[in-house]
Amino acid sequence: MTTGRGEFALIARHFTRPTRRAVLGVGDDCALLALEPGMQLAVSSDMLVEGRHFVSTVAPERLGHKALAVNLSDLAACGATPLAFTLALALPRADEAWCAGLARGMFALADAHGIELIGGDTTAGPLNLCITVFGQVPPGQALLRSGARVGDTVWVSGRLGDARLALEAFRGSVALDREAFERTRQAMERPQPRVALGLALRGVASAAIDLSDGLVGDLGHVLARSHIGARIELQALPRSTDLSAQPTAVQQECLLAGGDDYELLFMAAADASEQVLAAGAKAGVAVSAIGRIEAAPGLRVVDGGGRMLDALPRGFDHFSP
C-alpha cells in the first residue's frame, strides 16, 4: 500500500479504525488476516466508476454503502462468511466532507456484517472505488455457478427490477410519483447483500449467482457454466407494486435486464422446496420459485398466457453505449 503525505492524513482521519479481527490492519505494507482453521478464503473484487456505476450527484454515504454492498453480494452468492475488505480509492481531490460521508456509509454496512477495513490505497485521479472483500467458507461448501442440474427449481430472493425502474425515472423515460421514486431509489442506492441467505443456502442450493447485470445475463452465466437451459415464468418474477403499475414493456425490461438488483438467483432440487423456504425464513428474505432447469440449452421466458417471448432484453454490458 502506498501512502503519501496528504493521502496518509486523509486515510488516518477517515478510514483507520482499531482492528478487531484482523491481525494487522490499515497502515503497514500488508494487512494480516487469520482464517479459522481449515477454512478456505473467498475473494471478490468490484470496481465502481463515476458515470458508469453511479451518478456524480449521489450522496457519498449511499455510495459508500453501495460499493461495499455489491462486493458483499458476491460473497453471499458463494455462501461465504464475510471477514474483511480493502478499499482502493481514486479521488479528483482530497475532499474531507465527501470522504467522511463515504466512510460513514461504508462502515455502517461493515458494522452490520461484523467486518472491518484492513487496508487499501488512496490516490488522485478520476473518481474510482475498488473494493476487495474477503470471506471464509468450509472446503467443498461454496455455492458455485456450475452446479445446476436438470429438473432443479430456479429461485430468486427479494424483488427484481426496482433499481432499474429508479434509473429510468432518473433518465426521465418513466414517470414515478415522489414516494415511488424514493422507494425505488432505495433499491438502487441501498441494496442489501443477501449474506444470511447465502449462508443458509449452503448444502441446499445446487448453484447460485448474484444478480448484478440482470436476470437474463446472469442466468445465462449459470446456464453456460452448467451446460443446461432454463424455462422462466414471467408472472412468477417478484416485483414491487411500483413496478407492477408500469406498462408491460417497462416491467419486462426491468425484471429481465434490470441490473443492480443484488438479489440471489439460485437453483435447488425440486424436492428441496421446504428447505429453501426455511432458508429464506431463517434469513428473513422472501424467496420465489420462478422456473425450472431443463436439458435443452438456452433460456426460455414464458408469459402469463403461456407464450414464449420472442426476444429477450440483453444483460448489462459495461462496454456497450
Closest CB 33 distance from a copy of itself, rounded Å: 4
Give the residue among 11, 150, 55, 284 at the shortest CA–CA distance from 1. Answer: 11
Closest CB 275 distance from a copy of itself, rounded Å: 21
Question: Backbone dihedral region of 284: left (phi > 0), alpha (psi from -120 to 50 degrees) or beta?
Answer: left
SS3 50: strand
Contact 202, 79 (CB under 8 A): yes
Nearer to a copy of itself, 92 or 304 (CB): 92
Nearer to a copy of itself, 140 or 305 (CB): 140
Nearer to a copy of itself, 55 or 281 (CB): 55
Q: What CA–CA distance (Å, rounded) separates 80 from 69?
A: 14
Nearer to a copy of itself, 212 or 288 (CB): 212
Interhelix angle 5-15/96-112, rounded to 10 degrees, is 40
Closest CB 65 distance from a copy of itself, rounded Å: 17
Nearer to a copy of itself, 101 or 193 (CB): 193
Three-state secondary structure of 92-159 = CCCCHHHHHHHHHHHHHHHHHCCCEEEEEEEEECCCEEEEEEEEEECCCCCCCCCCCCCCCEEEEECC
Q: What CA–CA distance (Å, rounded) separates 37 from 130?
A: 29
Closest CB 304 distance from a copy of itself, rounded Å: 28
In the structure grid, which three cell numbers stand for residue 252, read together? 419486462
SS3 299: strand
Nearer to a copy of itself, 27 or 183 (CB): 27
Nearer to a copy of itself, 107 or 266 (CB): 266
Q: What CA–CA distance (Å, rounded) separates 181 from 59?
A: 16
Closest CB 253 distance from a copy of itself, rounded Å: 16
Closest CB 24 distance from a copy of itself, rounded Å: 7
Nearer to a copy of itself, 161 or 259 (CB): 259
CA pseudo-torsion sign 58, 59, 65, 68: positive
Closest CB 183 distance from a copy of itself, rounded Å: 25
Closest CB 241 distance from a copy of itself, rounded Å: 29
Q: What CA–CA distance (Å, rounded) separates 265 from 292?
A: 12
Q: What CA–CA distance (Å, rounded) separates 190 from 158?
A: 14
Residue 317 φ/ψ, nearest 5 degrees: -120, 120
